[in-house]
Amino acid sequence: MEHYFTLNEYNVKKYGNAGAHDPSMMWDPVSEKYYSYCTDVYDPPLGLEDKIGIPIRSSEDLIHFKYEGIALSDAAIEEARDNGEFPKTVNFWAPFTEYVNGEYRMYYSATRAFGSSESRIWLACSKNPLGPFENRGIVVDTWETDDSKPNGIDPHIIWEKERSYLVYGSFFGGIYIKELNSMTGLSLDGSPKSLGKCIAQKGNPPIMDGPEGASIIYVKKTGYYYLFQSYGWLGNDYDIRVGRSKYVTGPYVDRNGLDLREKALGQKIANSYQFDGKNPKHGNAQKNWAWNGFRGPGHGVPFYDPRSRNYFFVHHIRDGAKCNEYVENMEGRVSYSRHYMMIRPMFFLDGWPVLGPENYEGETFEAVNQNEIPGEWEYILLDDRDNGLKKSKIVSIKDFQSLPGKYKIYRCSDYENSKETLAVTGYTDEHVCYWMKKR
């Protein structure tokens, strides 16, 4: 099995996963390729010009990605940056793209400033997944609203038969859902000032930052809509959580049936972690680089791959090496500067999703024999309320019955040790998610 995922290599023209933040994923039935669009990020080591406009990456196998350039036209960029008497928008955020009625529709965010709740979600369209995308109009506008209202940012689209809905919002007033005109992709009522319905919101007082980076998928086999979102500090202890509902507009609840509107954060399925790394695959960009775990997985999208008929979750994650560590001016919080797109397999156990512990590199998830189980394994428990770095512990496994709760076991690529191994993802009898990997 090939081991493709590489850290300490940050030139996107050489390594397509580098620099991806808030990535989305689309399967294009026309070109039969995968396309990922992400937030504008122009850290000089990426090797890109200082220009905004939504970076595009393409892939033929969902493993190797190629940087393709900028999605938006020059006219669309100038229009969306224009804030009248206020300074122009610096960069665009969190795009989501889909193929509908013979056109490609890309929803993206333009915010007044980092940390502001005054933002706009634009719809831009093209006849080609590589663009240029031209603006069709504003779908949500939260300028001149206070922090009790949702932020017009982080768009995602979910369809309920012939009806389409925009899922959006961030941190301030919570996550909202709003029905769109399925023919045009714009607001159903014609007004970008209509906000829709709240489906998730932090408690009062809040336990941690969030929620943000929301997305929804419907799974026919289970009969549920799943709402994914992130809590925690973006630069370090971000996480991925999920709730579910029988209806696209909610209510969405956690494993205990508690509403994600102020009552619950959702089932945690990923956070910062560190498996033992004896031989992690890495480049030579920074000479003082040393393996120190992954930080802040989050702001991702669920993705059903029609080719393999498997589910995946696509998100960004940060390289936890000390050479990437810095202290934010805001509240002195530690952050990690370099981030990558990660694609994890996603499985459903008793109607709830779990994510694989390793990046997808072409595995087929075939059954594992009983005689392969005995031995030492690394074990990580994803504590529901503590978003700190989780380091693996060594456990001895004798047989399938020794594994906790409900689980999925499969063969995968071991990034930390550059070899093939067995992986387990599951949850305990107490419904706490865990990851395991054979040593």
Q: Tens digits of per-residue pLDDT, 210-247?
A: 999 999 999 999 999 999 999 999 999 999 999 999 99
Residues of each domain in the chain carrying CATH 2.40.128.10: 370-438
Give me the mean pLDDT over the 107-124 stretch: 91
- Residue 79, helix vs strand vs coil: helix
Contacts of 81 (CB under 8 A, 6+ apart): 52, 88, 89, 110
For residue 316, list its beta bridge partners: 298, 341
Quote the pLDDT of residue 1: 63
- Rounded to whole angstroms, the maximal C-alpha distance in the chain is 69
Q: In the chain, where does the domain assigned CATH 2.115.10.20 lie?
A: 26-355
Q: When comparing pLDDT for 291 and 170, which is higher?
A: 291
Look up the CATH number of domain 370-438.
2.40.128.10
Q: Which long-range contacts (CB under 8 A, 24 or more apart) does 249-252 make?
A: 249/165, 249/177, 249/197, 249/199, 250/177, 250/197, 250/199, 251/199, 252/199, 252/200, 252/225, 252/227
Task: Find where tokens 């990437």 sit.
Answer: 324
Considering the segment(s) 26-355 as one domain, its CATH architecture is 5 Propeller (2.115)
What band does 2 get if pLDDT is binned at 50, 70 and 90?
A: low
Nearest to 387 by CA among 248, 247, 179, 233: 233
Instruction: Give per-residue pLDDT as tens, 315-353.
Output: 999 999 999 999 987 678 999 999 999 999 999 999 999
Mean pLDDT of the chain: 95
